[in-house]
Amino acid sequence: MGKAKSARRRWAVGLGAAAMAATVLSGGMAAVAYAAPAKISSAGYTPATRTLKPGMRGNDVRRLQQRLAQLAYYPGRIDGHYGSDTEEAVWAFEEVQGMPASGTVTVKVERALVNPRYPKPLVRHGGALRVEVSLGRHVLYVYHNNKIVLISHISSGGGYYYCASGCAYAITPTGNFHTTWRVRGWHTSPLGQMYNPVFFYSGFAIHGDTYVPVGPVSHGCVRVPMDVSSIFPGLVPRNGIPVYVRARG
């Protein structure tokens, strides 16, 4: 079993009853999409009695991972180890809840996990299958049948001035776009390497990167964590899927 397929299966285990059985294909690889419930329940989730931080292990970390997966965040392998994948999922959760992305699960974060804020659509009448990117919150949403199946932390254009094949400012364009072409695996562009890029406008893509910090640092592309990039192409399996990029929301 491939690493990406195995990761998706572990994610399914964490989602449990929140799973929506919808299979799509991307580059010959199957991907199963999961939807967060329309009305989120706190039933069955027991908050940790300690502050959780990267590097920790335990059943409370496993519960955290399961809760994040239930809410459509992708915490990586559900194994009770607070690694970088889980930290990035916590960042995304904090960003959606309007909190600073710290990666530390405090009492305040635990309370939000019990009664989370569900994101409002950035585009009211967008496609039933679509991608929304909020540059202000530093998050990306994937919708299937108008329900969120994935929420990910992102890093977008850093706003700096750079020169490569010409000079420009590192800005992620906002507007209404759609998926165009993609590359499976690593792709070398004039500005660096991208993993599993899905292009949505000219040379701009949503792609995996080994460096996706809290702040915006890219040349203009939308970076997602490597674990997310392993499943993202399967959730947007064809060209022409709407991609809405907004400055706020």
With a cut of 80, say whether residue 16 has pLDDT above it: no
Q: What is the average pLDDT across 81-103?
A: 97
Encode pLDDT of 155-167 as tens digits: 999 999 999 878 9
Residue 103 has pLDDT above 80, yes or no: yes
Task: Provide the greatest CA pair distance for the chain.
Answer: 55
Given 83, 114, 145, the domain boundary residue is: 114
* Distance from C-alpha of 223 to C-alpha of 153, rounded to nearest angstrom: 9
In this predicted structure, the answer to whether residue 58 has a pLDDT above a threshold of 70 is yes
Q: How confident is the model at residue 26 (pLDDT cuts 50, 70, 90)?
A: very low
Is the per-residue pLDDT at 29 higher than 60? no
Looking at residue 249, its pLDDT comes to 79
What is the count of structural domains for the chain?
2
- Domain end among 114, 138, 165: 114
Predicted pLDDT at 38: 43
pLDDT value of residue 165: 79
pLDDT of 41: 55
> Rounded mean pLDDT of 170-174?
97
125 located within any domain:
no
Predicted confidence band of residue 43 (pLDDT cuts 50, 70, 90):
low
Q: Can you tell me the mean pLDDT for 210-214?
A: 96
Domain endpoint, select from 114, 149, 184: 114
123 located within any domain: no
Query: Domain span at residue 69?
Result: 3-114
- Percentage of residues in the chain with pLDDT exceeding 70? 83
Whether residue 104 sits in one domain with residue 192:
no
Highest-pLDDT range among 2-16, 38-52, 142-156: 142-156
- For residue 153, is it within any domain? yes
Mean local confidence (pLDDT), 41-49: 79
Cα distances from 197 to residues 19, 78, 85, 130, 204, in angstroms, run 26, 25, 19, 16, 9
User: What's the CATH code of the domain at 63?
Assistant: 1.10.101.10
Residue 120 is predicted with a pLDDT of 93
For residue 36, the model assigns a pLDDT of 46
Share of the chain above pLDDT 90, in %: 78
Give the mean model confidence (pLDDT) for residues 171-192.
96
Tens-place pLDDT, residues 215-249: 999 999 999 999 999 999 999 999 999 999 999 87
Give the whole-angstrom CA distance, residue 92 versus residue 131.
15
**How confident is the prediction for the chain on average, in pLDDT?**
87
Least confident segment among 42-46, 52-56, 82-86: 42-46
**pTM, full prediction:** 0.85
If asked whether residues 106 and 203 sit together in one domain, one would say no
Query: How high is the pLDDT of residue 12?
Result: 45
Same domain, 82 and 10: yes
